[in-house]
Amino acid sequence: MPVPVNHSKPIRTTAKESAYKQILHWIIDGTLYPGEKLNDTELAEALGVSRTPVRESLQLLESQGLVKMYPGKATQVTEVEKESIKDLLPPLAVLQALSAELAIDHITKDEISSLKSINQEFAEALYKKDFHAALNIDEQFHQLIVDTANNSYIIGIVEKLQAHVRRLFFHNSIILSESSIEVHDNIIHSIEMRDKEKASAIMKQNWLEIKKDFQLPNEVNQ
């Protein structure tokens, strides 16, 4: 099993959390490809942790549908199902919209400034056609809003749904367009103006329109 060696070792939060985040990232970006068998010893060595947090991370990833564990046999990365985007986007769009609405009650001037800075970085990545970086920066943008909403239940569900959506982005070579920069600006402006209805509406539509980027077999001729 090929495991990258040129990455930073996990920062000591907890070994389990660090291992989980890194393995999740590798699954999302395809470093650990669909169907690949995972070896907990190799992963532990690559991550600089013991096998226990790796096993715990794999159990958590199984509960999220990203790996499948076969007791006494093997653990594998699950396959990517393109059509699942139809089921993933509606609940994610609603939760992201609700996050934008709730964030207005908690957001600070510094956090609004951070959103603007992140969107500037996003724009620069798109102009340079660094689409991989743009996807990661886009995730930072939306995650800041979700975190600011300050609702642990939303954070947990969004994390699970978004992992699957981002994975589909990478495996289907989805490229975010420059129009996303303006959408982000509109979201920021609505939040800054404390316009919950508009912020929620723009955010929801932003996520639902992603479906257009996926050419699903039964929709090609529609």
| Tens digits of residue pLDDT in 151-191 | 999 999 999 999 999 999 988 888 898 999 999 999 999 99
Contacts of 126 (CB under 8 A, 6+ apart): 134, 176, 177, 178, 180, 181
Topology annotation, domain 82-219:
Four Helix Bundle (Hemerythrin (Met), subunit A) (1.20.120)
Q: Which amino acid is at 22?
A: Q
Report which of 46, 100, 20, 36 is spatially closest to residue 74, judged by C-alpha positions.
Answer: 36
What are the distances in angstroms from CA 202 to CA 24, 139, 162, 210? 29, 16, 18, 13
Six token digits for residue 128? 């340079």
Domain limits, CATH 1.20.120.530, in the chain: 82-219
Residue range 15-77 forms a domain whose CATH class is: mainly alpha
Hunting for tokens 């999220």 — which residue is that? 64
Which neighbouring-strand residues pair with 38? 75
148, 106 contact by CB (below 8 A): yes
Q: What is the pLDDT of residues 90-112, one digit of tens each?
A: 999 999 999 999 999 999 999 99
35, 76 contact by CB (below 8 A): yes
Please state which of the ranges 11-25, 80-94, 114-128, 201-215 shows the lowest mean pLDDT. Answer: 11-25
CA 13 to chain centre: 20
Predicted local distance difference test score (pLDDT) of residue 221:
46
